[in-house]
Structures are given as structure tokens and as C-alpha cells.
Structure 1
Amino acid sequence: MLARYHRLMGDDVFFLTGTDEHGQNIERIAAEKKVTPKEYCDEVVAQFRGAWRTLDISNDYFVRTTDERHIQAVGKFATALLASGDVYRDQYKGWYCPRCEAFFQPEELLPEHLCPIHKRSCEWTEEENYFFALSRYQERLMDLVGETDFVLPETRRNELLGVLKQGLQDFSISRERVHWGVPLPGDPKQVLYVWVDALLNYITAIGYGDDEATFKRYWPADVHLMAKEIIRFHCLYWPAMLMSVGLPVPKRVFAHGWLTKDGQKLSKTTGNVIDPFDLARRFGSDAVRYFFLREGSFGADWDYTEAAFIRRYNADLANDLGNLLNRTVQMVVRYFDGRVPAPSGESTDADRQLVEPAAALRGNLERALEADALQDVLILPGSLVVEANKYVQATAPWELAKARKSGDEHAGRRLATVLYNLIDVLRLLGYAFAPVMPRKGPELLAQIGLSARIEGGWAEQMRIGAYPAGTVVKPGAVLFPKYQVEAN
């Protein structure tokens, strides 16, 4: 959604996603499956790519940390890190979780040395590693996290400030007993810690190490999006390593919350999962994206139920938006032979109650996007849909049509204004929803007679009154068919 919005606004966008594929956990799972780590990764990557196609994800690049280009660039970065004076060799002793590939202080563990994230046993590890002097960056990181909006939402920033106030510990950047990883330059017995390797994807994918022009064009990143359990890596380890080699840090890191399903943690073992392929097949990818961005606050944890999905789909999309489009287009066909009339120029209180929030939509959306308030980006046009439906009821175009038929010229002018305003608002909604609904947004625009191609020119597209009167509407299929729940 963010990438599509910024493209629509004319921004130069590079939307990156991908897979980090090294580490002890991958090595272990591959051995259990009796395949090589690369074969196992290839299988998982195919599933991710299939899901992204099904969900119409518009990424510009898919990075794999097993790509040779990435590995070469990681070697270059590691060489610079070793030369910085911030890396030293020492003995490591501590509790390690193989699943999240992270070390924990004893006080961070749950009883019986359980990982606080996975609730599984951590392993006591002793080996000689290379360490990064994270403690040297205590003050700079405190300023970055505490004095800027580098970390959002506020709850995550406060969490990191708590970690910083306890004092930062240096962390190990290499492993001796792991073989599936990027070799550490100068010491073939060691591979880079998977989180060092993985974090570097943000810069290797845009040319660090082999394409300086593209790298400078897109770095520093405007925003990193990730789950809340890995903010320590992204907001402390990552900026410190960038500072160490003299590179700028990303402008913002936004940590999203966790999903549960029917009140339970998502788990493949218990079968308590959300199947994106099934949801896309039944409701369409646009509805899936709409629901997950609209239903819960992006930075908070929330619970998914299919009943909530169906309620939101039928209420917001089938009833409110879909019916608004259908009945407005049908009234233009019935009362003006399908050609959208010009407004009379007269304005009533009812008109202003619709037109004023419509005129404010562009600015409100831009402010919400700037703040990464993703739920608001859907609440704002959704509120305009509600106002438009209220406007239909308040103005009663069918009554105006009856009065016009009886010779009331004023009613005829009012009917023209009302239907023009509704079509013009639908135009705004088509553009505003298109980044979230890249299939249905263009379909909506096509039904009101406009090009289904969503292009630049954001300011003009979002200007109230820009719909060209005289355009012929083109009624089409129901935008969102109502979903009927089968009775048991």
C-alpha cells in the first residue's frame, strides 16, 4: 500500500522484500528434511513468491541472502566493519535460541531458560567469536531513539529506551559451529552471524558494493517495516553497524504487532493458521489487503476471526462502497441516459457536508501516510463513503427525478448537481482506494467512465470538481458481491 501510494504521488519508489536464508535454524531444518539448506530455502522461497503473486504485491525486487550478489556485498561490508576498530575477538558464553538466532541475558529468559519469544529451551553456548563493540554507540543510539521519530509506534520506542537505559552489551557477529552462512573475511573457520548478514539485504539489494549510483539514489531508506520482536536488531544493532562504517541510518523503523487467530497464537503445528491463498480465492486479494490494514491498528497486536472478516467485507465493501457505485451509476443511466450532467453551480448545506470532507481527503491522506498511520489511510476514504451514502438519502435523487418529470426545473438542476457530486466523489474514492485495492480501484473508475490506468498526477486526481461532465458511465459487474455464509 505504501509503495503504491507513493508511486501515485509521483515519488521514486523502491519496494524491497525477500528472504534471509542462512543460520543454524535453517541448517537444522534442512537436515531433518534430508535436503541441503539451499534446497530447503528454494522450496520456501517458491511459496513466498507464489503468495506475493496471489496477493498482488508490487515489490520492485526480491532479495535472497543466498544470492551471490548479496554474499559479495556482505563480504565488502564485513571487511569495512573489521577495519573500523569496533570489532574484536573474545570468548562467548551465554544462552542462545536457535529458532530466533538470538542471545539472551539470563534475566531476559523465562523460567527453565525458555526463550521469551518462542517459549522453547535456549542452549548454553561457549565458543570463540568476533564481537562488535555496540556499547561504544550507547549515547548516539540514545539520541537517535529518544530524540527523533526513528522508531514507531511510541510503545516500541519506549521499549527500546528501556533497553538502552540498562546499558548496551557488545554482541557476537560470527559463529564457529555454523557452516551455513557467509564466511567472515580473514577467518574461514567463522561465518557471519545470521542477523548481520540478513540486515545487510537492505543495502545490498539497492547496489551497495556494485552499483554506487543506485545505492545513493535509494539510501537511506525512508522506512523499514518489520515485526515487533526484531526491533532490537533493526533499531540498535543495524544503525550502530552503519555508523561504524560511515553510512547513514534509515529514516524510520516501524514495528507492526502480532496476529492471533480466534484468540490463539498462530501455529502450523496445531493448524491454527490464516491461509492467504484461500482468502484471496474466496474474497479477492483486494479485500484481503483491505481487511488486514483496516481492521487492526498496524502497530498493535490484534485477533483475527473469519466472522470479523466477513462482517467487514460485507459492510464496508459490498454494502457501503459497492452499493454506492452501483446505484449512482444506475441513476445516471436512468435519469441522464448514462451521461454525467454538469452541476448547476448552486450549493446547499447537504452538498457542503459531502464536498468539504471530499476536498480535505487529499491533505488528510498525506498526513496519515507521513505518520505511517496506515489504518487511518483506509478510515479516511471509508468515512467519505459513509458521507456519500448519507448524501444519497438526504437528497433523494429519485424524488428529484419525479419532480423534474412533472416540470420542476429547479429539481432538475438539483438532480444534476447531486449526481455529479456523487460521481466526482466516487472518482476520488477510486484513486484513494487504488493503492490498497489495485484491482477494484481501476474497476470503479472504469464504471464511471474514466481510464482504468492508475497513473501519476496525484494533486489533480484528488482535486474536488475535476470529473469531466458529459462523460458516459459504463455500468459493470458488481464490485464486491455480498458474501453469503453457508448455514451448518
Structure 2
Amino acid sequence: MSGNRTYYVTTPIYYVNDVPHIGHAYTTLACDVLARFKRLDGCDVHFLTGTDEHGQKIETAAAAAGLPPQAFTDKVSQSFRDLIGVMNYSPDNFIRTTEPRHYAACQALWKKLVAAGDIYEGKYAGWYSVRDETYFVEGETAVGPDNKRRATSTGAEVQWVEEPSYFFRLSAWADRLIAFYEKNPAFIGPDSRRNEVLSFVKGGLQDLSVSRTSFSWGIPVPGDEKHIMYVWLDALTNYITECGYPDQNAPLWKYWPANLHMVGKDIIRFHCVFWPAFLMAADLPPPQRVFAHGWWTNEGQKISKSLGNVIDPVELVKTYGLDQVRYFLLREVPFGNDGDFSRRALIGRMNADLANAYGNLCQRVLSIVAKNCGEKVPPRGELMEADTALLDRAKGLLAIVRAELDEQAFHKALTSIWEVIADANRYVDAQAPWALAKTDPVRRDTVLWVLAETIRRVTLLVQPFMPDATAKILEQLAVPPEKRVFAAFDHELVSGTALPPPQGVFPRFIEPAAPAAPAKPPKQPKAPKQPKVAG
């Protein structure tokens, strides 16, 4: 892989009307794994996350908190920054839409759209969801059992809005968008979302209201400051703000177009319809790919604040461990599908996949090496068919994992790796190096070398998913930092290299015992009946 290849991956910028939850952690984790993998694979990576801080919903939430909007966004934006450390993410920058450079980029894009003839002034009358910051046509809303009109797609309450507005000529872009999708079939993933977007666009597009006058917390429209920009035009622009727009000679402009925008399925329309139309109208290339993942439920229930079942990633990490949570979130559910979060499933993965399969393989192999090989990498003797079969599977993993991650198939990548871990565990049992220690020490050493080398290759590929745990395993194999990149994937362990004492990395998780019920007080003897006294 050429070190000159750029790779730009972005999370959606998170709306700061509340604190981060498992959905935010999930999206950023997926981007973090891709960024780490691509860096290890020799790419020049730029990984961006940040916060979306304008709009009516923010203005309302700030008022409810008794704070000015800027002070409110400062506070909540910090909670998203804090999550970076909790989850061990590795972004190259954190962008906020309240930054002056972002105001400049948005206003420059607006002027470009006006000059292209794609923005005109008019009046908006229709349904608007403050929660979704989205406009809906009549057919996309319905009156619910509570007699409130709601968006049928999201369940959010909508209100009738009439106000002066600028419009983007989205209706003129339907044919050009369809042509773009057909020319770039990988632009939208997974396929179910691509079909959804195609259906929406083929159903006809209406011009999009792109300014508001009924509130003031946002970026002013150039030349008409009674209007502020529609929050989605503002928010989407962050991806090019980061690259230096409108200065296409800026150092970071080399990263545009982005290789991947990672989003939740609820915001795919903004990223796959509005955003490419805005960009093409401004004579800019759209991103190469947008991938929309699914939603989590909690033990079978939809997650909501009203049910009190919001999953706090900080609490998960404190309870179960950082790398364990990172592994589970990307292994448990096919990425792109909806999935159910279950603590029982998390503990099951921790104990079966991490403690029993991977951790036990590392611990017992390195313990036998320490005991029998003088705490050094054992000699590599003559390889037998069983040895080359295992080594070949481990060697082939890089190409497999690279291809799966380019499709955002995190679960498939991890499944492929764990299949080789299972092969290695079966190989240990079949070769029984503890028995060979007495009967054939030369063969024992070869078996142990094959196992140590397999662990090295597997661990190199697990690094993006579990960086802390894998660093400990690679230290126990005496693999120096410069040999932990994929350019060194085929640099086999050198026999005779001194090894540190082995230590367990993935302990089994034992659920704390439920507190014992308080002992019942002993029954008091009944008082003897008093004899009746004749009156």
C-alpha cells in the first residue's frame, strides 16, 4: 500500500442538544477502526469528528437550561470531546460549527450556489420538525393517537411553518443525482440504503428551503442577515470547512473528496441527496462513499430517554473494559443492520471470544515458550503440512480484512480473524507441544514458533479494534513499534529474540454476585390467649 494515498474519513458532527450515548460511540468507533487500519496500511489519514451547534433545537434546549446558546454548546460539545478519551479514539481534529472558519466556509458555499443560479428567494409554508431539523411534505406526516401531527418516518412532532425563505433548486438535480448514483454504485452503502435513496429521488424532488427567519441561532445568510442558513446546509459544510474551503490550495484540501462519510441511517437523505447536490452545484466533487449503519435497541426495547434505557458508553467501559466494549460493538451485529444490545451477549463475547479463544491461546503458548525455550522466540525447524496450513491462513488474513473493511464489514473482518484463532487453538491441541517437550523437543520448538508467528499476524490485524490489549500482546512477542505496521506483516519472528514474561490480557468476566437478601427476623412466639373473664 502506497504511503502517498490519502484517506479522509468523517463521523457525522453530533448535535449538541444532549450528552453522548451508545449510538454516538458506535459511529465514531467504526471510523476510528478504519482510520487506525488505514494508518497501519500506509495511508495518509485524516479522521474528523466534531459537533453541530446551530439550529432551533439548540436555541430551545439552551433556553430550557437557562444558558446563552454559545455557553450551552460549549458545555455539551465538551462531553463529546471527553468521549474521545474514554473510547480511545484517534481523530486528527474535532470541528465545531461555531468556529469562525466554518462561518466563512458556509457563506462562501452559499455565494457559490447563488452564483450558479441554484438559490432563489421565496416563501416557505409546510410542516417542520424541530427535533429532526427537517421539512416534511403533507404525505410524510400523519395525526397520531395523541392528536398531534408527526413525521411518519421518525415519529417526531411537526409544526406548520410559514415564513420568508431562500430555496435551493433541488428539483432540478433529480436526473443528475440518479446518473451520479448509477455511475458510482459504491457511493451509498449498504445496498438497502442505496435502494431507499434511489426510490426517494426517483419519486421526485421538491425545492429545499435553506434559510429560516423565525429564530436567530445560526450562520447569517450573506447579504440578508434577517435569514440564517438551514442547519443542514450549515452542518454538511463542515466536511469541506476542515479541508480549508474555499481555499482549494489549503494544505488539507488534498483530502477532498472524502473517502467515507459514516452516518446513522436516519440522516442518509441529507448526506446522499442534499449534500452531493450542493457540492455538484458548487462545482465540487461529492464524497466517494456514504455508509449508513443501523440502530441499537436495548434488551429488545427501543432506546429512549422516556423509557430510561439509554446506554451510557462511559458506564460500559468502566464496568466491562475498554477494548472489550470496542470489540463487542463491532463484532456482535452485521454492520449496517439494526442490533440489540444485551449485557449477557457482551459478557458472552468477552469470555468466549476474548478470554477463552484469543487470550487463552496467547497465554498458554507464551507460557510454554517461556518454560521450555529459555524465554526466547523458539527456533523455526522444518515445517510440516499442518504448520504451513495454519501459517498460510494467517498470512492470507491481511488481504481479507483489508477488503472487508473497505466495505465497512467489520463483523466479517473479525469473524475471519477469529476463525484463524480457532484454527490455532485446534492446532495447539492436535500438536500438544507440552507432550513434545519430552518426546521431540525440536518439533516442539517448531510448533511453538508457528503458534507465536500466527499470534503475531493475528494481533497486528486486531490492533485497530483493540489497540491497548494488542499493544500488550505485541510487547510480549517483542515486536518493536516500527514492526507493528502492515508493511512488516511478512517480517516473521526472529528465533532467539528475548521475550518478556507472559501475562494474561483478557481475564474472564465474572458477574458480581447479587447482594444477599437481608435475613428475616426470627418469628416471635405468639402471646398466650388470655382467658375470658365473665362479666
Where do residues 221-232 of structure 1 align in structure 2 (5 Å cutoff)?
221-232=258-269
Partner of 2:30: none
Partner of 2:495: 469
Partner of 2:3: none
Partner of 1:202: 239
Which structure has the bigger radius of gyration? 2
Structure 1 position 275, deviation (Å): 1.5
Structure 1 position 118, deviation (Å): 4.2
Partner of 2:166: 130
**SS of 1:93's equivalent?**
strand
Q: What is the distance in 2 between the residues matched to 1:346 and 1:91?
A: 77
Partner of 2:141: 109
Task: Give CA-to-partner distance per residue, 1:414-435, whole Å, 9 cap, x none.
Answer: 2111100110011112211111
TM-score (norm 2): 0.87
Return the match for 2:104 from 72, 75, 88: 72
Where do residues 18-417 of structure 1 align in structure 2 (5 Å cutoff)?
18-112=50-144, 113-147=149-183, 148-210=185-247, 212-348=249-385, 350-403=386-439, 411-417=440-446
Q: Are 1:460 and 2:488 matched, yes or no?
A: yes
Structure 1 position 277, deviation (Å): 1.1
Retained in 2: the 8 A contact 1:63–1:201? yes
Structure 1 position 378, deviation (Å): 1.4
Give the unaligned 5+ runs of structure 2: 1-32, 515-535
Partner of 2:448: 419
Retained in 2: the 8 A contact 1:94–1:126? yes
Q: What is the distance in 2 between the residues matched to 1:447 and 1:278?
A: 30
Q: Report how many aligned residue pairs link the two structures.
A: 477
For the aligned residues, what is the CA RMSD? 1.5
Q: Which runs of 4+ in 1 moved over 4 A?
A: 454-457
Which AA in structure 2 matches 1:79? K
142-151 or 33-42, which deviates more: 142-151
**SS of 1:341's equivalent?**
coil
Which AA in structure 1 matches 2:178? M
**SS of 1:469's equivalent?**
coil
Structure 1 position 212, deviation (Å): 2.5
Retained in 1: the 8 A contact 2:221–2:227? yes
Partner of 2:16: none
Task: Give CA-to-partner distance per residue, 1:209-258, whole Å, 9 cap, x none.
Answer: 35723243100000000000111100010000100010000000000101
Which AA in structure 2 matches 1:262? E
**SS of 2:250's equivalent?**
helix
Task: Give CA-to-partner distance per residue, 1:79-106, whole Å, 9 cap, x none.
Answer: 1111110111112111110001001122
The structure whose residues are more often helix, as a share, is 1
**SS of 2:498's equivalent?**
coil
**SS of 2:467's equivalent?**
coil
Structure 1 position 353, deviation (Å): 3.2
Aligned in 2, Cα 1:456/1:358: closer, same or farther, shift over 3 Å? closer
Which AA in structure 2 matches 1:474? P
Partner of 2:461: 432
Retained in 1: the 8 A contact 2:42–2:487? no
Q: What is the distance in 1 between the residues matched to 2:164 and 2:252?
A: 34
Q: What is the distance in 2 between the residues matched to 1:206 and 1:91?
A: 34
Which AA in structure 1 matches 2:174? Q
103-112 or 35-44, which deviates more: 103-112
Task: Give CA-to-partner distance per residue, 1:380-403, whole Å, 9 cap, x none.
Answer: 211111111111011111111121
**SS of 1:15's equivalent?**
strand
Which AA in structure 1 matches 2:498? V
Q: Are 1:445 and 2:471 matched, yes or no?
A: no
Retained in 2: the 8 A contact 1:25–1:98? yes
Structure 1 position 455, deviation (Å): 6.2
Give the unaligned 5+ runs of structure 1: 404-410
Q: What is the distance in 2 between the residues matched to 1:258 and 1:154?
A: 16
